[in-house]
Copies of this chain bind each other. A is one copy, B any other.
Amino acid sequence: MSQAHERPTLEAVARLAGVSRATVSRVVNGSPKVAEPIRSAVRRAVEELGYIPNAAARSLVTQRTDSIALVLPESASRVFSDDPFFPSIIHGVSQELDAADKQLVLMMTNTVAGYERVERYTTARHVDGVLFASTHGVDPLPGQLARLGVPVVVTGRPLGRSAVPYVDVDHVGGVRAAVRHLLETGHSRIATIAGPQDMVAGIDRLAGYRAELRGSDRRSIVAVGDFTRESGATAMRQLLEDDPLLDAVFVASDLMAHGAITTLRELGRRIPEDVAVVGFDDFDISRYTDPPLTTVRQPILELGRELARQLLRVIAGEEVPAAVVLPTELVVRASA
């Protein structure tokens, strides 16, 4: 099938250049202690043979693999088709790793077996470090790996205590700005559709809503969804049963906000005249809903990039902060 199975080795280059393997290795790895004429002779030989170092051999001795794993949780499977969160994370991580010339190994653990594979793979040091785009519950794996000495960084403040550095966005700040906006624009009955309360994003966003409302004399009206569009639609219905006179709703995700808008439409409420709606995420689609959605933007791409950057620092042995929190920002459009 191929004539190229015979890839040139260091040995071959060394012979052609008339030097030793050690010298070729030095040149290839940019060691400064090789005299110029020899250096260029080696370069020429490398060029001529199209020599490319064998990664396996190199890893074997250096103990580095120059690749890092990004682990996506079980739910990614479901979430993938509709929610740009994971794609954006991947994209951000990829950008940063590309720049650092590291490989991205993607692991989706949608089964128990998968979880085990991840564990095996990562503890076996097949990668230099592990990134968790973990959003759900309390995952023991990151801490476990960290304890084994594997560099680890996760997205999202871990529930429970954890010594693993994380990168997250300022959920509370963003939500407070959103609710404040609602208050300032004269709304008095402000409800919320919260996210799942086993996820930090769900918990923190609800906390932000409560915190901001506490400063006013408004009472809180809460329904809980699971970040899907359907759950948003259902929750909205429930909210309106609880308080038919509510005039605003902060929805903890754009997808749920879309669902809520659908419900509001069906029930004949005008947006924002009858009910103002604010989402959270600022997905691309939210610009195209009717009306365009006022929402809290979280920098997901940047989250991915920062995630990768932190891990690269850990791998390099630098100190990293226990937490990096990226700012969120209220984007006012027509829905509130």
Binding site for B on A (CB under 8 A): 1-5, 7, 52-57, 59-60, 65, 67, 76-77, 80-82, 84, 86-88, 90-91, 94-95, 98, 101, 103-108, 110, 114, 117, 120-121, 123-126, 148-150, 229, 258, 262, 283-285, 288, 290, 301
Q: Tell me whether B90 and A81 are in contact (CB under 8 A).
A: no
Q: Tell me whether A91 and B80 are in contact (CB under 8 A).
A: yes
Q: Tell me whether B121 and A81 are in contact (CB under 8 A).
A: no
Q: Tell me whether A149 and B98 are in contact (CB under 8 A).
A: no
Docked pose: A241 CA to B77 CA in angstroms? 43
Contacts of A150 in B (CB 8 A): 2
Q: Tell me whether A108 and B94 are in contact (CB under 8 A).
A: yes
Within the oligomer, what is the number of copies of this chain?
A: 2
Docked pose: A137 CA to B126 CA in angstroms? 36
Give which listed residue, B53, B91, B105, B285, contacts A285 with CB less than 8 A: B285
| Distance from A138 Cβ to chain B, minimum over Cβ atoms (Å) | 23
Docked pose: A107 CA to B3 CA in angstroms? 26
Instruction: Specify the main secondary structure of chain A where it touches its partner.
Output: mixed
User: Which B residue sits closest to A259, measured CB to CB?
Assistant: B288
| Distance from A124 Cβ to chain B, minimum over Cβ atoms (Å) | 4
Contacts of A55 in B (CB 8 A): 56, 59, 124, 126
Q: Tell me whether A57 and B54 are in contact (CB under 8 A).
A: no
Q: Tell me whether A88 and B80 are in contact (CB under 8 A).
A: yes
Contacts of A285 in B (CB 8 A): 82, 285
Q: Tell me whether B105 and A67 are in contact (CB under 8 A).
A: yes
Q: Tell me whether B284 and A82 are in contact (CB under 8 A).
A: yes
